[in-house]
């Protein structure tokens, strides 16, 4: 009877060779992308309350972020006062997607504030004590939003439950601040 260890080693090598033919090499070296997520598509819908621009976009598909879609999102979330743009944190988009999924929402995210240039942030700080000096908006890691088909207090609670960053609720203005900084809420 053949040695079972030899059969196992040969079978393992055969499996690995066959798998390498099926799985794109780029995915083998991305431990954060599980095979279950390879086929997942992530989409978001936005309406910018200051510019009236709208965007419906698939930003992630087949295990990767879509550069053209991210470019469109970066443009939409620009500082509309100065027209400056940054690369928005993809983790922030994933937080929006997860919140929307958990709420069962089909609505659009109404954007109150996306990226803020340091100049804009300073101007807003002069008018309000609720604007942080080192705001994550200036790094493309924060967004202020509401959903068109869900109450903002529910959006807040779901975001807090995710434990993926900061969550602030501004009931008077009816919006929720989300960021990818430390987990905290106010």
We report the CATH number of the domain holding residue 13 as 3.30.1380.10
Q: In the beta sheet, which residues pair with residue 44?
A: 57
pLDDT in tens, 61-94: 999 999 999 999 999 999 999 999 999 999 999 9
pTM of the complete model beyond 0.75:
yes
Closest to 150 in 3D by CA, of 113, 96, 186, 88: 96
The percentage of the chain sitting over the pLDDT mark of 70, rounded to a whole number, equals 79
CA 157 – CA 186 distance, rounded (Å): 11
Question: Residue 40 belongs to what domain range?
Answer: 4-185
Give the position of tokens 């079978």.
11
Please tell me the predicted confidence (pLDDT) of residue 15: 47
How far is the C-alpha of 28 from the C-alpha of 46, rounded, in Å? 33
Number of domain units in the chain? 1
Query: Is the per-residue pLDDT at 38 higher than 80?
Result: no
pLDDT for 13: 53
pLDDT digits (tens, 9 = 90+) for 131-180: 888 899 999 999 999 999 999 999 999 999 999 999 999 999 999 999 99
Which distant-in-sequence residues (6+ apart) come within 8 Å of 40 by Cβ? Answer: 60, 61, 63
């Amino acid at each position: 009877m053949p040695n079972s260890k030899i059969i196992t080693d040969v079978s393992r090598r055969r499996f690995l060779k066959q798998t390498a033919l099926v799985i794109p090499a780029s995915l083998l070296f991305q431990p954060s992308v599980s095979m279950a997520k390879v086929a997942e598509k992530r989409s978001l819908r936005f309406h910018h309350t200051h510019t009236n621009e709208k965007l419906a976009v698939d930003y992630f598909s087949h295990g990767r972020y879509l550069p053209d879609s991210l470019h469109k999102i970066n443009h939409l979330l620009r500082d509309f006062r100065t027209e400056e743009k940054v690369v928005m944190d993809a983790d922030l988009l994933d937080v929006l997607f997860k919140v929307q999924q958990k709420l069962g929402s089909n609505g659009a995210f109404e954007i109150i504030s996306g990226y803020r240039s340091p100049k804009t942030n300073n101007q807003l700080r002069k008018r309000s004590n609720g604007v942080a000096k080192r705001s994550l908006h200036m790094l493309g890691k924060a967004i202020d939003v509401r959903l068109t088909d869900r109450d903002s207090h529910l959006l807040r609670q779901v975001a807090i439950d995710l434990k993926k960053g900061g969550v602030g609720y501004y009931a008077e203005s009816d919006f929720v601040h989300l960021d990818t900084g430390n987990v905290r809420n106010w």
